[in-house]
Amino acid sequence: MTVASPKEIEIFFCYAREDENLRNELEKHLSILKQQGQIITWHDRKIGAGKEWEREIDTHLNTAHVILLLISQNFMNSDYCYSIEMKRALERHEVGTVRVIPVILRPVDWKGAPFSKLQVLPTDGKPITRWRNRDEAFLSIAEGIREAVQDFLAFQKTKEREYYENTIFSYFDVRNIQMPEDLVGKTLGTCRIESLIGEGGFGVVYLATQPHLNRQVAIKVVKSTFRKESSYSYSYDTINEDRHRLMLLRFDREAEAVARLDHPYILPLYEYQTSPLPYLVMPYVAKGSLADRIKASYYLPLPASEVATILSQVASALDYAHQQQLIHRDIKPHNLFCHHSGNILLADFGIVQFGDSDLLAPDPSMAPYTPSYASPEQHQWLKVDYRTDIYSLGIVIYELLCGKRPFEGRLTGGPFEIANQHLHTPPPAMHTFGVQVPPAIEAVVVKALAKQPEQRYQSAGEMSAAFQAAFYRNNI
């Protein structure tokens, strides 16, 4: 696969709306770089009608090669510019995936700001509005940006050369890959695998880098690829070929499912390849999952206001997936990722069901769900629909409010006891866990956890709306 440096460097303008006129002037002075085909520029005014603005900004903020911070008092006062866009820009700058350049538009005290360690423009950091001849100020900035663009292109060429040097002899024999750890240090396509970060029932996930794009990604490999597993004692040799083919087919269906989804609260798919082994390439979410956050907080309950926000986002993602005739079937905190923007991203469609069809015959040894979050119909191997996801989402919301799941098999801790609780036991009142949850909010969760699907909410959005209404009634 050919790896090439970008033909045009994308420049992202991070600015406050009050400074739009100065941004326009600066963009005009970069026209010669545009005409020479060296750069393209992007800012929020280029978002097309009907596009989701936050997602568009986030996409360009994470892919731009140069980010200009247009500094003024307006910028410093903007929570979005200062706390979200600038923070993400500096995170990328620290790992070397972008060049961040502060441009001082107006007089403001910026000493000690997070960007103050960077070289600023114009010359000597003199604000543009303090120059007698503003054209000279903009010329100073344009020359600095031209130099940064040339440096970046040179850096890209170096990375491209290193990529070829490091990967030309990196082909490996899949037959020599025995355990998940054996892939660390290998290269799949354009991705150099750095470390193993997680294993699930069907897949193994790695942290990888794409040197030619200067970004980190997550790679998921089907688990039955390996003859030995790092976390379990049994080997692939004990897995029959039919089961192996089924796992590969599910992997293929996961790629197909995620590829058809385009939603701000669903983790997207970058790439799917089948050679030298099947793997998915997805964004790497450094903040981890909701499960990681719960564990890091020592299982403390979250405030109802924060739970309402999480529920709203997950419900939006689920309703969208259900409209595409996709049933997730594995909603749990481990599959809800915490994006740096604060949003929650639904991930891992590894056991997705397409509409009414399913590939898996009843085989408890290969149960397509997580027992603690599975619906009663999943535990009974009955036909499921989108309401199974609403039940699992109810378990997640219960856990966020209480710090504990309602059904944990407290006597034996075994899956059969957990299944029996899901089938026959009402969820414990939340106050038994020492938390004070308003009765109206608790009632919403209890309805989502109804044993019969027809007694639950008939959409995730309906559940979220009921939760929001209960929350606001309690806070009036």
Class of the 175-283 domain?
A: alpha beta
Q: Which of 80, 85, 115 shows the shortest CA–CA distance to 101?
A: 115
Task: Give a three-class secondary structure readout of 71-140.
Answer: ECHHHHHCHHHHHHHHHHHHHHHHCCCCEEEEEECCCCCCCCCCCCCCCCECHHHCCHHHCCCHHHHHHH
**CATH architecture of the domain covering 290-475:** Orthogonal Bundle (1.10)
pLDDT, mean of residues 425-445: 96
* pLDDT tens sequence across 9-34: 899 999 999 999 999 999 999 999 99
Superfamily covering domain 9-165? Toll/interleukin-1 receptor homology (TIR) domain (3.40.50.10140)
Residues 38 and 152: beta-carbon distance below 8 Å: no
Q: Which two tokens stand for residue 329?
A: 């079937």
Residue 233: per-residue pLDDT: 35
* pLDDT tens sequence across 229-282: 544 333 444 455 666 677 777 788 888 889 889 899 999 999 988 878 889 999
Residues 223 and 196: beta-carbon distance below 8 Å: no
Judge whether residue 164 has pLDDT over 80: no
- Distance, in Å, from the CA atom of 260 to the CA atom of 278, rounded to the nearest integer, reads 19
Of the pLDDT bands very low, low, confident and very high (cuts 50, 70, 90), residue 367 is low
Higher pLDDT, 450 or 51: 450
- Distance, in Å, from the CA atom of 139 to the CA atom of 145, rounded to the nearest integer, reads 10
pLDDT, mean of residues 377-385: 92
Judge whether residue 96 has pLDDT over 70: yes
Q: Where are the domains of the chain?
A: 9-165, 175-283, 290-475
Of the pLDDT bands very low, low, confident and very high (cuts 50, 70, 90), residue 213 is confident
Over the Cα atoms of the chain, what is R_g?
26
Residue 31: per-residue pLDDT: 93
Residues sharing a CB contact under 8 Å with residue 294, sequence separation 6 or more, in sequence order: 333, 399, 400, 403
pLDDT, mean of residues 404-418: 79
Q: Which of 259, 243, 473, 278 shows the shortest CA–CA distance to 360?
A: 243
Residue 25: per-residue pLDDT: 95
Instruction: Check 19, 58, 330, 389 and give the catalytic one.
Output: 330
Judge whether residue 174 has pLDDT over 70: no
- Distance, in Å, from the CA atom of 251 to the CA atom of 282, rounded to the nearest integer, reads 14
For the chain, give the mean pLDDT. 86
Q: Is 330 a catalytic residue?
A: yes
Judge whether residue 6 has pLDDT over 70: no
Q: Is the pTM of this model over 0.85?
A: no
* pLDDT tens sequence across 285-324: 999 999 999 999 999 999 999 999 999 999 999 999 999 9
Of the pLDDT bands very low, low, confident and very high (cuts 50, 70, 90), residue 167 is very low
Higher pLDDT, 423 or 92: 423
C-alpha dist (Å) from residue 31 to 7, 24, 44, 148, 358? 16, 11, 18, 16, 55
Looking at residue 474, what DSSP letter applies? Answer: H
Q: Which two tokens stand for residue 143?
A: 């020359």
